[in-house]
Amino acid sequence: MRQLLVVLILFSLVSALMSTKASAANNIEGVRVWPAPENTRVVFDLKQKPDFSYFTLSNPQRLVIDFKNSKNAVDLKKLASTDKRIKRIRTSKAKTKSGIRLVLELAESFQLTIFPLAPAGQYGDRLVIDLYDKNRVTQVANIPTNTKRDVIIAIDAGHGGEDPGSIGGKGSYEKRVTLAIAKKLHNIINKEKGMKAILTRKGDYYVNLDRRTQIARRNRVDFFVSIHADAFRTRKPNGAAVWVISNKRVESEMARWLINREKNSELLGGGGGVIKNTADDNLAITLADMNKEHSLEVSVNTANNIIKQLKKITKLHNKTPQHGNFAVLKSSDIPSIMVETGFISNYQDERNLNSTKHQQKIAQAIHNGLHKYFIEQPPMGTYFASISYQKHKVSSGESLSILAQRYKISIAQLKSLNNLKSNTVRIGQTLKIPSAG
């Protein structure tokens, strides 16, 4: 009882101290503007939790924010706005003497979300404003209606914009590495006959996790691959890993730690699901259970293929697919994997992840794994499903490159199709060759 009393006294002391602190002036210490295809995010860095109110005005469109008991330390004029949604950010006469009023002059009227964010990662208290275009249209890739459609792969570069993801010991940002690898993979896939790739983000901005899967669904993708880089609290762990969704409880400490990190990261950039997409996703959710088992099987098989490819070019953190409950993998109607390309918290991995050459190798490895799966198990109606094969018995003087030339396919394809580990073939060996038509 006495202990409880002591605790209570301490508690009231601490809260008294905290409330004195809270009454001190807040300060706007920084402003960041993140333009994205469908929205612009404005983030105010604050000394402490904001006490604010806001309203909008039209003709011309404006968003007015009143910060109570605050100062502004940012030169708003220097916010050279290259953003198409915000024309200017300026101050105006405040409601009270101790407050500050900011006016965002807008290009038109937007769907508005405004919310404070608690300190996380390298950031302190923030106020986040999202201006969404009123007519958000997902760009849908042109899918020809003939019977030989492409296998469509969604490539998801983890994090972005306000959410840097993990930060390496030498200061590299996960969000940059993931985008670089995603873009390289996008290029490789789009050069492959019978495959097509779409990116869930193309630049340095944050895309809400629901939105990422929505983009994938609207494009009717066959597969979803999310690209990340790991980090741990110590420098030692290294290597790549591939994750698939799990229905079981996550057991290893490492897995729990990583999952929490990704969750925090989502909060950091996404505002904790303030924006929810509804309506047309309901059907997809109903269908999800039916497809769950099939899609997990596809995910695991592809993950295994990709691990085999990654093994040739990088250390592996895990030799088998890992199971975890990452939000980005929750869309169980679409086969999905998450490739952790290495540990950005490990110096050697960090150096590799920043090398263009290594990024290209990782992208190629992911592509090879995907290609192998889809050429062996092509979805109905795809070009891959329409390919028929002939057999070729290797005779003396024939090499892979001669055969590749003769049958007009790449050596890589020939190898992948026949599970060849090297470039040498034996006389008398039978090879599978795609035949035209």
Binding segment toward Zn ion, per CB under 5 A, in 70-78, 141-149, 153-161, 266-274: 153-161
Q: Tell me which residues in 191-250 interact with Zn ion (CB under 5 A).
A: 228
The residue type found at 206 is Y
Tell me the C-alpha distance between 232 and 227, whole Å. Answer: 17
Rounding to the nearest 10 degrees, give the CA dihedral for residues 376, 379, 382, 388.
40
Q: What's the closest the beta carbon of residue 183 comes to Zn ion, in angstroms?
A: 17
Residue 168 or 194 with smaller CB distance to Zn ion: 168
Residue 212 or 228 with smaller CB distance to Zn ion: 228
Q: In the chain, how many H helices and how many E strands?
A: 10, 17
Tell me the C-alpha distance between 132 and 200, whole Å. Answer: 17
Binding segment toward Zn ion, per CB under 5 A, in 75-83, 150-158, 201-209, 387-395: 150-158
Q: Is the peptide bond before 164 cis (omega within 30 degrees of 0)?
A: no
Tell me the C-alpha distance between 56 and 265, whole Å. Answer: 30
Q: What's the closest the beta carbon of residue 18 comes to Zn ion, in angstroms?
A: 33
Interface pattern 298-337 for Zn ion (x via CB under 5 A): ----------------------------------------
Q: Tell me which residues in 14-43 interact with Zn ion (CB under 5 A).
A: none
Tell me the C-alpha distance between 432 and 435, whole Å. Answer: 9
How many binding residues for Zn ion (CB under 5 A)?
A: 3
Q: What's the closest the beta carbon of residue 185 comes to Zn ion, in angstroms?
A: 16
Residue 195 or 268 with smaller CB distance to Zn ion: 268
Binding segment toward Zn ion, per CB under 5 A, in 139-147, 162-170, 367-375, 388-396: 162-170
Binding segment toward Zn ion, per CB under 5 A, in 154-162, 241-249, 287-295, 384-392: 154-162
- Taking the alpha carbons at both ends of the chain, their separation in whole angstroms is 85
Q: What's the closest the beta carbon of residue 209 comes to Zn ion, in angstroms?
A: 11
Match 């929810």 to its residue by tokens: 276
Residue 165 or 194 with smaller CB distance to Zn ion: 165
- Name the residue with the smallest CB distance to Zn ion: 228
Binding segment toward Zn ion, per CB under 5 A, in 151-159, 252-260, 349-357, 426-434: 151-159
Q: What's the closest the beta carbon of residue 34 comes to Zn ion, in angstroms?
A: 18
Inter-residue contact 368 to 256 (CB < 8 Å): no
164 binds Zn ion (CB under 5 A): no
Q: What's the closest the beta carbon of residue 262 comes to Zn ion, in angstroms?
A: 6
Q: Given its phi and psi angles, is residue 70 left (phi above 0), alpha (psi -120 to 50 degrees) or beta?
A: beta
The residue type found at 47 is K
The beta strands (E) that lie in 314-366 are given as 322-324, 336-343
The beta strands (E) that lie in 164-208 are given as 195-199
Binding segment toward Zn ion, per CB under 5 A, in 164-172, 217-225, 234-242, 360-368: 164-172
Match 């993708």 to its residue by tokens: 221
Residue closest to 184 by CA, chosen among 155, 209, 164: 155
Q: What's the closest the beta carbon of residue 2 comes to Zn ion, in angstroms?
A: 48
Residue 229 or 400 with smaller CB distance to Zn ion: 229
Tell me the C-alpha distance between 348 and 352, whole Å. Answer: 6
Binder of Zn ion out of 160, 165, 269, 270 (CB under 5 A): 165
126 binds Zn ion (CB under 5 A): no
Q: What's the closest the beta carbon of residue 393 comes to Zn ion, in angstroms?
A: 48
Residue closest to 151 by CA, chosen among 432, 386, 328: 386
Residue 165 or 324 with smaller CB distance to Zn ion: 165
158 binds Zn ion (CB under 5 A): yes
Structure tokens given for 423: 């470039």
In the beta sheet, which residues pair with residue 435?
Answer: 388
Which residues are at the interface with Zn ion (CB under 5 A)? 158, 165, 228
